[in-house]
Amino acid sequence: MTGLLVRKFENKDAAATAQIFFDAIHIGAKDHYTEKQRRAWAPQVPETSKWLELLNSQISYVAEQEGKLVGFMTLMDDGCVDLTFVTPERIGQGISKVLYDSIIMKASKAGMKRLHVEASHMARKFFERQGWSVINPQTVERAGVSLENFLMQKEL
C-alpha cells in the first residue's frame, strides 16, 4: 500500500483514533448492526483521557497515510486483539492487513502461542481470511442492547 506508515501509537493520536473508532462503528458497520446497536456500542466519541489510558495499556499500532491516521489495532498482554478499526472510506484497502502483520510480529516476538478476538460481523470476515477459527458466536450487552460477535482464535 503506497505511502502507508505503521507505527506505535502515541498520545497525540488519541483524538484521531477515537474518531476512527466512532466512525467505523456508526458508518462502517451500518450494514451489520442496527442504529440502536451502534449507539449502544459507541454512544459518542470516546473521552480522550479514558481512551489514552486504554490504548496505552495495550500494544497499539496506528496506520498513517499522507499525514492522516487511517486505522489502528491493539493487542493485550493476554493475546487478545482488542481493537481493530479502519476509517470507513478506507475499509477494504489493505490497511487492516498491514496493521495485523505488525501485531502478529509483535505477538510472535513476545512468545505468544495463541491469539483470540471477539470479532464483529465485519472483523470476522477479515480474521477468517487470516486463518482464524470461530470458536463460537456470542451475545454481548452494551447499555441494555444485545450485539452479536464471534469469539475467534489463532495458533501462532
The CATH number of residue 18's host domain is: 3.40.630.30
Number of structural domains found in the chain: 1
Residue 128, in any domain of the structure:
no
Residue 8, in any domain of the structure:
yes
Residue 68, in any domain of the structure:
yes
Residue 44, in any domain of the structure:
yes
* Residue 1's pLDDT band (cuts 50, 70, 90): low
Residue span of the structural domain in which 83 resides:
4-112
Residue 139, in any domain of the structure:
no
Residue 29, in any domain of the structure:
yes
Does the pLDDT value for residue 24 go beyond 70? yes
**What is the rounded (10 degree) CA torsion for 103, 15, 126, 149?**
110
Q: What predicted TM-score, i.e. pTM, was given to this entire model?
A: 0.95
Residue 74, in any domain of the structure:
yes
Neighbouring residues of 116: CB distance < 8 A, sequence distance ≥ 6: 79, 80, 81, 135, 151, 152, 153, 154
**Over residues 138-148, mean pLDDT:** 94
Residue found by looking up cell 462503528 in the block: 25
- Per-residue pLDDT tens digits for 66-93: 999 999 999 999 999 999 999 999 999 9
